[in-house]
Amino acid sequence: MRIKTLVAAMAAVASLAPIAAQAQAAAENPWMIRVRAVDLLFQNGQSGGNGAVQALNVKAQNQWIPEVDVSYFFTKNIAAELVLTYPQQVNITAGSGNTNVGKITALPPSLLAQYHFTDLGAFKPYVGLGVNYTIFGNRQNFPALGNSVTVNQSSIGVVGQIGMDYMFDKNWGMNVDLKYATMSTEVKTVSGGTNLGTLTLNPWMPAVGVTYKF
């Protein structure tokens, strides 16, 4: 009877071992930081309002930005990533010649839930989905337009992600990442608030960077 009890206890412990090992791995290395260079590629759709945004061909200019991303792993596969940068100056152009008419600042943090594929050795691809919240500053900084127009204070949208880490050792690796976010703002007159149209930014964000896992 004692032998049967001992065998049953050992079997129960063995069945819990994979769960314990996964929990221990997550507990030992729950944090990951990435530093990326991001190519911000705005899609620049114009619509709505009184048609002025379309007629003026208002666009946001593409640019490279720095990015710091902090991830926390709840398990070896499931993580949350907070995407951060400092407020970025975005040049706004208009006309057929894409003349610079001014600039605004954009602070676009994102929070994503991720699934990491971990059974491919050093190659660790992942997918993510979350929310982007962009805060626009210097909203009346358009001297070429007489500082007579402004944009919304913020934009909230969905962000999707696909990427991969290639780990050189247990701590260091390289990262390649692609995100797409839905982002837009209305362009209005300062006096009276007339809606001149919506500028749909919806940027693609290919990036490359360095990974460090604690």
Task: Give all domains of the chain, ordered by start, each with its CATH number.
Answer: 30-213 (2.40.160.20)
Using CA atoms, how far residue 179 sits from 39, 58, 176, 203, in Å, is: 10, 24, 10, 8
pLDDT tens digits along 158-197: 999 999 999 999 999 999 999 999 999 999 999 999 999 9
15 band by pLDDT with thresholds 50, 70 and 90: low
Rounded to 5 degrees, what angle do the CA atoms 41, 46, 47 make? 145
Out of 24-33, 95-104, 148-157, pick the least confident. Answer: 24-33
Tell which wins on pLDDT, 25 or 128.
Answer: 128
Q: Can you state the percent helix, strand and coil of the chain, rounding each to 5?
A: 15, 55, 30
Taking a C-beta distance cutoff of 8 angstroms, is the pair 93, 62 a contact? no
28 band by pLDDT with thresholds 50, 70 and 90: low
Give me the pLDDT at residue 145, please.
87
pLDDT tens digits along 73-124: 999 999 999 999 999 999 999 998 899 999 999 999 999 999 999 999 999 9
**pTM score, two decimals?**
0.84
